[in-house]
Structure 1
Amino acid sequence: MDKLSVLILTKNEALDIGGCLRAVSRLQDVHVLDSASTDATREIAAAHGATVTVRPFDNFAAQRNFGLHELPLRNDWVLILDADERASPELIEESLAMVRQAPDNVAAGRIRRRDYWMGKHLKHSIISPLSIRLVRRSRVHYERDINEVLVVDGDIADMRHHFDHFSFSKGMSHWFDKHNLYSTMEAELIASRRVGKPSLAKAFFARDPHERRMHQKRLFYRMPGRPLLKFLYVLLFRGGCLDGPISLHYALLQSIYEYMIVLKTREMRMAADAAAAEARGPVTDGDTHAVKSQPVETR
């Protein structure tokens, strides 16, 4: 029996879940953790032989931690996928080899993601194409509600093969709906000041690319003009322009997403300030002026 389990998170993924499951069909222990879908996601997953569990969604870190540590997975090694992703046959073979041969100090595998839009591979435009998706579940956990961070107790091996990602498979309307939710969650994180302090040294010199990316993100939150910076970063610094005209549209989408976060953060902070002012109550003259006692003339 293969010593590799698969965990897939879903919410209304009837369009994509079948293809994702077909790509891992040779593996025997496949689990779908569903966030109360209202379409045929669960039925399709069950028809493909997956074990389906329903858990209402609260945040990404909690959902992934539940999947890794509460579901009855048969194996310690787990390949983590989303429904709009497809593991290549070569990645499956490499993952099985990793499970058999990995030394004890290795607790996870970092995999390259290939993103597609309008039938074209976005080779240069993607901001963070590396993702830790092969893990020893006994030695990892997730933190942070949105753009969750995986904490790994051990070394991370770089995998040679890839998985494909079709984030626009349900069309532009779905992409905007999804990123409207994501931008709200990210704005709440910033407005509540739950974003950790950045380290300039780690942002540029950390050996681990995920730690480096985390501190770069924290620095980015503090910069003015973030939507424009995101546009220029994708198009020029990442070399997105090498992907052709489609990269301009993709960079604009990323800029729009960042602008949504900026505006929502400002709105939330204004609402919090107004609520705090209301809680303090109205300012009266007695709060701001001292009354001097006057001598009283008696006759």
Structure 2
Amino acid sequence: MAESLSVVVTTYNSAATLDACLASVRWADDIVVLDSGSTDATLAIAAHYGARVATQPFAGYSAQKQAAIDLALHRWVLLLDSDEAVPADAGKTIRQALVHPTEAGFLIWRREWIFWQWQSSRSRLNHYVRLFDRQRARMSNHQVHEEVQVDGRVGVLDVVLDHYGERDIAGRVDKANRYSTLQVADLGGKGRRGVRMRMLTNATAAFFRYYLLRGHWRSGWAGFIAARIHAFYAFLKYAKLYEATRANAREQRLPGNDAD
């Protein structure tokens, strides 16, 4: 018999995608939705699917997800974003993986919706630990690009999540701006000299990796635009870090800030 499973989702004004997300996991033993103050139909959609709903102010991406995981009834958790959905046959695959599992967690593949189309089937998929034993796993402490850290062996499931993400260019640019600001805290230990070099080189390297190595050139203009924004994000996070180091240095030089 398979282990019981809790599906965990964090939400904020997620009505546009939450219906598809929860409909895709209605077979789960337990659905938890942790909301951070939605004003749209998010809570009504969660109630429609019988989810256990809790609310708390947004504590940051990692901390919010960890708080939601802690609300799960069962040891095994499937962690989803509110703009993700699992395919129709995924339930059977996941149930089979949870029959006497020896792994502490499983990687799951994810395909991306890029503005007006799915990424090419021949481009590289991302993969993340999303199914895990919560007694042997915790969220990382990153401000953004948080991940599940597992203490034990990690397997790979033949499951591909659908990630709807940002539906337009403006949304992706806005996300790059928000995430680059948050990443300043994660990158804060780097020296200013290294930051200047990264401002010069990282955007080009990021474009090369995303567009060519990951194969998004196969997605036509959608892939090209996404690669350009990805490169801009790679530049922007170090530009903001450089700005922060200059601001800190200027503050230390102000009168009254001299060391005793």
Is 1:246 the counterpart of 2:222? The answer is: yes
Look up the match of 1:152: 150
Instruction: Determine helix, strand or coil for the equivalent of 1:101.
Output: coil
- How many Å separate the matches in 2 of 1:122 and 1:88? 17
Would the alpha carbon gap of residues 27 and 275 (structure 1) be closer, same or farther in structure 2, given more than 3 Å must change?
Answer: same
Would the alpha carbon gap of residues 172 and 160 (structure 1) be closer, same or farther in structure 2, given more than 3 Å must change?
Answer: same
Tell me by how many angstroms 1:175 deviates: 2.8
- How many Å separate the matches in 2 of 1:89 and 1:281? 61
Structure 2: give runs of 5+ residues left out of the alignment: none
Is 1:235 the counterpart of 2:233? The answer is: no
The aligned length equals 252
Instruction: Determine helix, strand or coil for the equivalent of 2:15.
Output: coil
Would the alpha carbon gap of residues 274 and 110 (structure 1) be closer, same or farther in structure 2, given more than 3 Å must change?
Answer: same
- How many Å separate the matches in 2 of 1:266 and 1:28? 48
- How many Å separate the matches in 2 of 1:152 and 1:41? 30
Aligned-residue identity in percent: 27
- How many Å separate the matches in 1 of 2:161 and 2:186? 29
Would the alpha carbon gap of residues 279 and 23 (structure 1) be closer, same or farther in structure 2, given more than 3 Å must change?
Answer: farther
User: Partner letter of residue 8 of structure 2?
Assistant: L
Look up the match of 1:85: 84
Instruction: Determine helix, strand or coil for the equivalent of 1:56.
Output: coil
Structure 1: give runs of 5+ residues left out of the alignment: 196-218, 283-299
User: Partner letter of residue 189 of structure 2?
Assistant: R
TM-align CA RMSD: 2.5
Tell me by how many angstroms 1:43 deviates: 2.1
The C-alpha deviation readout for 1:244-297, integer Å capped at 9, x for no partner, is 332211111101222221221121111111111126558xxxxxxxxxxxxxxx
Instruction: Determine helix, strand or coil for the equivalent of 1:46.
Output: helix
> Normalising by structure 1, what TM-score?
0.77
**Superposition pairs for residues 1-299 of structure 1, below 5 Å?**
3-69=4-70, 71=71, 73-103=72-102, 106-117=103-114, 118-123=116-121, 129-143=126-140, 144-169=142-167, 171-190=168-187, 192-193=188-189, 223=198, 224-278=200-254, 281=257
Instruction: Determine helix, strand or coil for the equivalent of 2:45.
Output: helix
Specify which structure has the bigger relative contact order, considering alpha-carbon pairs within 8 angstroms and separated by 6 or more residues.
2
Report which stretch shifted further, 257-266 or 152-161: 257-266
Q: Are the counterparts in 1 of residues 3 and 100 from structure 2 also a CA contact under 8 Å? A: no
Q: Are the counterparts in 2 of residues 32 and 51 from structure 1 also a CA contact under 8 Å? A: yes
Would the alpha carbon gap of residues 101 and 108 (structure 1) be closer, same or farther in structure 2, given more than 3 Å must change?
Answer: same
- How many Å separate the matches in 2 of 1:168 and 1:176? 9
User: Partner letter of residue 276 of structure 1?
Assistant: Q
Q: Are the counterparts in 1 of residues 130 and 148 from structure 2 also a CA contact under 8 Å? A: no
- How many Å separate the matches in 2 of 1:28 and 1:53? 17
- How many Å separate the matches in 2 of 1:100 and 1:281? 62
User: Partner letter of residue 33 of structure 1?
Assistant: L
